[in-house]
Amino acid sequence: MTAAQLPPVAPEVTATLVEDLSPRLRKRLDAAVAKLAAYPVHRDGDTVVIAVDDETALRLHAPGGAVATPDAIVCGCLLAPACVHRAAAACAAPAADPPAEPPADPVRQPAQAPASKEPPAPPAIPSADEVASPAQRAAAAALWSAGAAVLEAGVDGAGAVAQAALLRAAHTARLRQLPRAAAAAITVVTLLRAARAHDPSYRTADLVTALAELLTTAHRLRTVSGAELAAVRGRARRPYSPDGSLRLYGLFTEPVVTGSGHGGARTWVAGPDGRLYTVGDVAPGGVGRALGVADRAVRLGDTALTHRELGRAGLAVAGATVSPDGRLGAGKGVKAVSARGAGWWEPPLAALWEVPPAAQAARALASVSRYADPDGGGSDLLFLDVELLGAVREAGGSCLLARCEGGTAVRLAVADDDPALAHRDNLMLLATAPGMRLRIIGRLAPAHHPRLTLLACSHPTGEGIVDLGFDRLRRADLPDPGAPVHPAPPRPGDGGTSPALHLLERRVEQTVPAGRAALGLLGDTTAEAGRLRRAGLPTAAGLLTALCASAAQRERDGFGRLLPADTDGFATHWLAAARYTAAVAESLCAAAWQPAPGSDPGEPRPFTAPAAPADFTAPADPAGGR
């Protein structure tokens, strides 16, 4: 049995079942969750049945797609309903998303409600002196305590009971209208379960970011006011606002495959002013659904264009609704018809490639920041003209090395390693054609060196574009093979702060899997702090010293007995170190994109952008070119 075979369970259901267990059964809960993975599972309509043994069955009833009440999990053993099996099943299943609430106005859910004739009022902004309510502050305090307990115990010690405490705090936060904090807690639980199940897709850095986001949000809810309070509270659902009539031009289509088993496609389009929009179709189904959705009609108005066709064509939309992050709504009031597209070398799309790479990187970095406002908008895409240099070896494999404007060496990595998608095959094929010039679109990958995940490029023959996740290049499309493998280029930050920063980063990450005790046993860290100071990072040195001192600090009472550790104080020091390292890493990423001729592998030479196809002509626009 795997978690994907079980229906999602509401967080409050899991928390209730764990809280109802006796202390003796709570100690056995983690072992029961592990045993459950070996039991056979089958689905009977809306019910999932787990065969505990030949005579005992555990049933999870999910009529709406998720288990919504504790009574919906029924066990046939003699100890039911006070048995450990019900709680173990809830802990093994994925956490369900919060139920959808009725929209306050039709624009908030354009896919399900008719469009309103009157534009909705903008969301209320708290006054400058408004602060969180006492109930919200109490919910934030519960989230902080649950997150600090996870940090204290580490992944190995944060079992089902600690996860249930986080789920209870998340449920309370959602009831107190704190959706951003609740979502952060659910993310931490999901990553904890992936870590404990040895999921190959789990990364410690992801859990570090999720824990820091949870603790940051919980702390800020108790301290901020005014407009900042609204951002920290977050929104339960993505708001859509009217945007009138739009003339859109297709850019490309990318597959979307998530770790939760969802799959689909996302098509990027641009307006005449260069603003980017997306039209997506993502639902449970994984990579198989992603490959199929690309050739289905987009859900927008009456257009019959598929996602892949829209990536090369255009749309004229009336009554458009747009979310802050650029997603186009598909409500009944939205009208859309097919229109002429534009080539990448033709206005208005050509202007996207005219922005200097450093400016594009700075804009993209603001949207992919680890702690960016979810409603902040912005795009993480970069539009570059590059010259391919060949493959470059890295610790995790190889990637494609290219040179863009200003002589900056950029590493182009695979966007998705799934063999069913064409990303890796296309990238490895392009690596055999050094010297070829292409116009590309990639997603910024924050690192100490310029790095993108490659999404689309102009066709090597000059005929159209290539959606690198869906379209497969052939050897005949490229010049003669025979590419050398280049050594890794020098990184702009490698001569200063970059190597020393890892001394603090590794202590921040070390805490998450092993808990506070891992740092408490380090002993003297004077040498590491000295290296940080010599590298020009005195703040990092002070944070490292304070973090390790807080981890080792244990006071005793008058009888010499150890007192409980100061989990809040340690969480505060850890959070400060985590946020500091993230800020420095983002600064190094921005600096790496600045033109640096000395970092160019090989002899510097003038850069020439790829030319437009010789036979490129602009067809007539049936929509009138609005």
Listed in order, strand segments (DSSP E) in 271-311 are: 276-284
At 127-177, the pLDDT tens digits run 667 888 999 999 999 999 999 999 999 999 999 999 999 999 999 999 999
C-alpha 460, offset from chain centre: 31
> Does 599 map to a domain?
no
Compute the average pLDDT of residues 83-105.
74
pLDDT for 612 equals 55
pLDDT for 485 equals 47
pLDDT for 111 equals 33
Q: State yes or no: pLDDT of 203 exceeds 90.
A: no
At 213, the pLDDT band (50, 70, 90 cuts) reads: very high
At 336-366, the pLDDT tens digits run 888 899 999 999 999 999 999 999 998 998 8
> Does 542 map to a domain?
yes
Compute the average pLDDT of residues 438-460.
92
Task: Check whether residue 214 and residue 301 sit in a common domain.
Answer: no
At 524-572, the pLDDT tens digits run 888 999 999 998 899 999 999 999 999 888 777 777 787 777 899 999 9
Task: Check whether residue 253 and residue 187 sit in a common domain.
Answer: no
pLDDT for 1 equals 62
Q: Please state, in angstroms and rounded to a whole number, the distance separating the CA atoms of residues 520 and 504.
A: 15
> Does 108 map to a domain?
no
> Does 121 map to a domain?
no
Task: Check whether residue 149 and residue 88 sit in a common domain.
Answer: no
Angle (CA) 171 172 177, round 5°: 95
Task: Check whether residue 279 and residue 312 sit in a common domain.
Answer: yes
Task: Check whether residue 483 and residue 498 sit in a common domain.
Answer: no
The last residue of a domain, from among 342, 364, 397: 342
Q: State yes or no: pLDDT of 406 exceeds 80.
A: no
Buried b / exposed e across 304-317, counting CB within 10 Å, b at 16+? ebbbbbbbbbbbbb
Task: Check whether residue 142 and residue 268 sit in a common domain.
Answer: no
pLDDT for 392 equals 86
Task: Check whether residue 502 and residue 588 sit in a common domain.
Answer: yes
Q: State yes or no: pLDDT of 53 exceeds 60.
A: yes
Tell me the Ramachandran region of residue 327: left when phi exceeds 0, alpha when psi lies from -120 to 50, beta otherwise.
beta
Task: Check whether residue 283 and residue 177 sit in a common domain.
Answer: no
Task: Check whether residue 377 and residue 463 sit in a common domain.
Answer: yes
pLDDT for 540 equals 92
At 267, the pLDDT band (50, 70, 90 cuts) reads: very high
Q: For residue 476, how many other CB atoms are within 10 A of its CB?
A: 7
Helix axes 11-19, 84-92, angle to 10 degrees: 150
Task: Check whether residue 437 and residue 550 sit in a common domain.
Answer: no
> Does 602 map to a domain?
no
> Does 103 map to a domain?
no
Task: Check whether residue 217 and residue 295 sit in a common domain.
Answer: no
The secondary element (H helix, E strand) that includes residue 509 is: helix 497-514
C-alpha 508, offset from chain centre: 20
The last residue of a domain, from among 169, 203, 233: 233
pLDDT for 521 equals 81
Paired tokens of 195:
């870590």
pLDDT for 613 equals 53
The last residue of a domain, from among 233, 265, 299: 233
- Lowest mean pLDDT across 65-74, 109-118, 152-161: 109-118
Domain count, the chain: 5
Q: Which domain holds residue 187?
A: 134-233
Query: Which CATH number do you get for residue 458?
Result: 2.40.50
Output the average pLDDT for the chain: 83
> Does 53 map to a domain?
yes
Residue 237 DSSP one-character state: S
Compute the average pLDDT of residues 497-522.
84
> Does 606 map to a domain?
no
Q: State yes or no: pLDDT of 614 exceeds 60.
A: no
At 425-439, the pLDDT tens digits run 999 999 988 889 999
At 165-191, the pLDDT tens digits run 999 999 999 999 999 999 999 999 999
Task: Check whether residue 316 and residue 256 sit in a common domain.
Answer: yes
